[in-house]
Structure 1
Amino acid sequence: MTELPGWAHEYSGKVRELYRPIDEQAADAASPAVDRMLVVASDRVSAYDFVLEPGIPGKGELLTRLSSWWFEQLDVPNHVLSTDPVSAGGLVPDAVAGRAMVVKRLDMFPVECVVRGYLSGSGWEEYRRNGSICGVPLPVGLNDGDRLPRPIYTPAWKAPLGLHDENITYERTIELVGANAAASLRDLSLSIFARASEIAEARGVILADTKFEFGRDADGTITLGDEVLTSDSSRYWDAAAYHRGERGQSFDKQIVRDWLAANWDRSGVPPVLPQEIVERTSARYRELIGLMTGA
């Protein structure tokens, strides 16, 4: 956590810090009716619901760049007011410039809206046990990395920091947020995933799966929040390698997950990441940004 002039720290997530304004400038600048927040992406990296050591140098800026780019590509309401210190009226402190977003405060839904276009990760593990994911039945005989007949919505309960997120059925989301909101979250998630997949495929990248988080703004509009389609919240694969049969060529933190799976039994405290794993992960994050944005 960093102390920032004009902002009071409100919440720490696995990767992000959330601040609220405490002075007149931050509270009243540009849009006095908007309840503003500052979201700062750290260099922390998490896997299996643990924050790992060390962090990935520059990761916070990379995540913010990619997330900001994706928000601009998607024609859905989102929480971003500005990532630019100038257009934000000087609200982004110099200490976090490049890795912070001024956003609208949202009343967040306690659901992670996961969409899967391919079978991988925890979805593959659940499919092997049950032949389904989050209550969604799938064809028999699928293998790790196979493309699904169509993308599926497999929500998760968003656990508080320190607890494990839990895959849930769609029926459970209705219990948590109500039938209308549950349907909106599902439909929005599938629609965004379809559009994002098209954009990624045009750049030689497969979007295997991702998670979205939504909340309601002050007017009650369901709004896309948090990060979107970053290397932390998504699985991205090299399309050319995949079609050659070389699965697992990821542009995300799968490198970290794979190393942990080979070197940790998920009991106790996770081991420290080797420098080589840190450097390889950072390089893949940067490569993805280059492919997606051309920058």
Structure 2
Amino acid sequence: MTDAATPLPGWTHVYSGKVRDLYRSSDGADDGRLLVVASDRVSAFDHVLEPAIPGKGALLTSLSLWWFEQLAGADGGRAIANHLLPGQTPPAATDGRGMVVRSLDMLPVECVVRGYLTGSGWVEYQADGTVCGIPLPTGLGNGDRLPEPIFTPAYKAPLGEHDENISFERTVELVGPERAAELRDASLEIYRRAAALAEAKGLILADTKFEFGLDADGVLTLADEVLTSDSSRYWDAETWRTAETPAARMASFDKQIVRDWLAAHWDKQGTPPVVPDEIVAQTAAKYRELLERLTS
């Protein structure tokens, strides 16, 4: 299994984030190819934890590739342009965790779509009756479905800093009115299509986030990972309908198990404790279950 420091023939390491590693093609002249590698690392509360989650990177990459295929028209909808380069095979050393993609002019907006009231949105709603400044009807509960999905963009902060929730008006200032509307409309379309596919598999797509860039012709292009457990909240639909507590109804197919364990065993001071083997195994099983349920 490769890591950020391991040389890959034909590729030059550019940088590593908490979870993913980026390489640029070094075969002759710069041809605009990038290699994105999803590691098995897991992060919570702005720390990379030990140990990694075995198989996580390959599971996330498989899920992204499946969703890119659906959004390219396999689900019957219009084709959404994405950054994958057809016919390009990642190095074998990436163990199924790599995607060869085209370099894009990335837009500085993280496109968040929320279909359900949860997380930071629930906290804001309790205080102000809004989510990211958008007024919502009174009487909603934690985990409730929103009347309509809402677009709540964020400004993509420099590496190592926190993203900042922004208004649609601020999005217009950043990318212009036509591009801002295109980002909003594409994000809502993708969310609705993905939510319908998930619903058919007995799953709820509560919220998600997308990143877009522009290709050489200025075409808006879906990039990065898409609709994975690390970028989205998925819930089991039957559990959501029948569970008696918000925590139970919103049990998610991601690293929430790790977050909950860490919150109960660490005061967020100093180095986080090592995550127990049973928590690692439960988390890996959740990632695997989501992939199997969606793609079966």
TM-score, scaled relative to structure 1 = 0.90
C-alpha deviation, 1:73, in angstroms: 0.2
Q: Deviations over 1:197-242 (max 9, x none)?
A: 0000001110000000000011111100000000100000011111
1:259 matched to which residue of 2? 261
Q: C-alpha separation between the residues in 1 aligned to 2:172 and 2:269?
A: 33
From the superposition, tell whether residues 170 and 240 of structure 1 become closer, same or farther in structure 2 (CA, over 3 Å): same
Q: C-alpha separation between the residues in 1 aligned to 2:115 and 2:159?
A: 28
Q: C-alpha separation between the residues in 2 aligned to 1:273 and 1:157?
A: 31
Alignment match of 2:96 (pick from 95, 98, 111):
98
CA RMSD of aligned residues (A): 1.7
Alignment match of 1:36 (pick from 26, 30, 33):
33
**Structure 1 residues without counterparts, runs of 5 or longer:** 28-33
Secondary structure (helix, strand or coil) at the match of 2:249 reads coil
1:289 aligns with 2:291: yes
From the superposition, tell whether residues 132 and 229 of structure 1 become closer, same or farther in structure 2 (CA, over 3 Å): same
Q: Is the 8 A contact 1:49 1:164 kept in 2?
A: no
Q: Is the 8 A contact 1:118 1:148 kept in 2?
A: yes
C-alpha deviation, 1:269, in angstroms: 4.2
Task: Tell which deviates more after alignment, 259-268 or 156-165.
Answer: 259-268
Q: C-alpha separation between the residues in 2 aligned to 1:282 and 1:189?
A: 28
Q: C-alpha separation between the residues in 2 aligned to 1:220 and 1:138?
A: 35
Q: Deviations over 1:263-294 (max 9, x none)?
A: 34445544432222211110000001110111
Q: C-alpha separation between the residues in 2 aligned to 1:119 and 1:257?
A: 19
From the superposition, tell whether residues 150 and 215 of structure 1 become closer, same or farther in structure 2 (CA, over 3 Å): same
Q: C-alpha separation between the residues in 2 aligned to 1:272 and 1:241?
A: 30
Alignment match of 1:115 (pick from 101, 105, 113):
113
C-alpha deviation, 1:176, in angstroms: 1.7
1:140 matched to which residue of 2? 138
Task: Tell which deviates more after alignment, 221-230 or 240-249.
Answer: 240-249
- Size of the aligned set, in residue pairs, is 281
1:21 aligns with 2:25: yes
C-alpha deviation, 1:120, in angstroms: 1.1
Q: Deviations over 1:165-213 (max 9, x none)?
A: 2222112212222222111111100000000000000011100000000
1:200 matched to which residue of 2? 198
Q: C-alpha separation between the residues in 2 aligned to 1:265 and 1:148?
A: 34
Q: Is the 8 A contact 1:112 1:155 kept in 2?
A: yes
1:126 matched to which residue of 2? 124
What amino acid is the match of 1:247? R
**Sequence identity (%):** 67
Q: C-alpha separation between the residues in 2 aligned to 1:238 and 1:153?
A: 23
1:63 matched to which residue of 2? 60
Q: C-alpha separation between the residues in 1 aligned to 2:262 and 2:135?
A: 29
Q: C-alpha separation between the residues in 2 aligned to 1:161 and 1:272?
A: 25
Q: Deviations over 1:50-100 (max 9, x none)?
A: 333222111110000000000000120000114xxxx32xx5212114110
C-alpha deviation, 1:160, in angstroms: 2.3
1:31 matched to which residue of 2? none
1:242 matched to which residue of 2? 240
From the superposition, tell whether residues 51 and 123 of structure 1 become closer, same or farther in structure 2 (CA, over 3 Å): farther
Superposition pairs of residues 153-192 of structure 1, within 5 angstroms = 153-192=151-190
Task: Tell which deviates more after alignment, 4-13 or 160-169.
Answer: 160-169
Q: C-alpha separation between the residues in 2 aligned to 1:226 and 1:278?
A: 25
C-alpha deviation, 1:47, in angstroms: 2.8
Task: Tell which deviates more after alignment, 222-231 or 119-128.
Answer: 119-128
Q: Is the 8 A contact 1:49 1:165 kept in 2?
A: no
1:52 matched to which residue of 2? 49
Secondary structure (helix, strand or coil) at the match of 1:81 reads coil
**Structure 2 residues without counterparts, runs of 5 or longer:** 72-78
